[in-house]
Amino acid sequence: MGSYAAALAEPLTTPTYPDITLVRQVRTNYGFGANLEQAITTDLGMFARASWSPGLDEIIGWTDCDESISVGFALKGTAWGRANDTIGIGGVVEGLSPEARAYFAAGGLGILIGDGALNYRPEKVLESYYSYGLNRLTSLTFDYQLIADPGYNADRGPVNVFSGRLHARF
């Protein structure tokens, strides 16, 4: 992984400044995560998750994120006669460390973000879905996400994402 501070310390004359690929080496990163899942009733459940890492080095395994908190609820369709259906809603707020912010503001590139014009603001996502049970083993899910400040940039978005999924168990 490359260090954000080392990439920013490169000479400004570096052709692709700041180029994190020039400062990659074996590094150790750490972080913390917590997950809570709780059944409130037999049909209603909730979850809450939080994670944090110091954000000193690039992320190479998932997405550029150093802190995150999310919460959501899922309700089975028993009350409206659709026991195999589920409706859900959740939200997440994610952020970057000061080192990552400086790197991306200077034009650095990450796995999914980086365009040299970072006007930092935490990314916020609100998601809702309806999973329609076709039978006991198959479902069709319709999903909607509203993403505010995508890529941690107040100058971007909001973005509306609509998706679907067919899920079958064997």
Look at residue 52 and give its three-state secondary structure: strand
Beta bridge partners of 132: 140
Supply the DSSP string of 97-141, one letter for each residue: -HHHHHHHHTT---SS---S---B--EEEEEEEEEEESSSSEEEE
Is the separation of the CB atoms in 95 and 70 below 8 Å?
no
- pLDDT for res 128: 98
- pLDDT for res 63: 85
Q: Which CATH class is domain 4-168?
A: mainly beta
For the chain, give every domain's residue range: 4-168
- pLDDT for res 102: 94
Among the listed residues 53, 61, 59, the one whose alpha carbon sits nearest the alpha carbon of residue 97: 53
- pLDDT for res 112: 87
pLDDT tens for each residue of 57-97? 998 877 899 999 999 999 999 999 999 999 999 999 999 99
Residue with tokens 């069709």: 140
- pLDDT for res 4: 95
pLDDT tens for each residue of 7-53? 999 999 998 899 999 999 999 889 999 999 999 999 999 999 999 99
What's the sign of the alpha-carbon dihedral 65, 101, 57, 34?
A: negative
CA distance 6 to 107: 14
Look at residue 169 and give its three-state secondary structure: coil
Please provide the average confidence, as pLDDT, over all residues in the chain: 94
- pLDDT for res 55: 94
| Sequence-separated contacts (24+) of 4-13 with Cβ below 8 Å | 4/55, 4/56, 4/57, 4/58, 4/97, 4/99, 4/100, 4/102, 4/103, 4/108, 5/56, 5/99, 7/103, 7/108, 8/102, 8/103, 8/106, 8/108
- pTM assigned to the model: 0.88
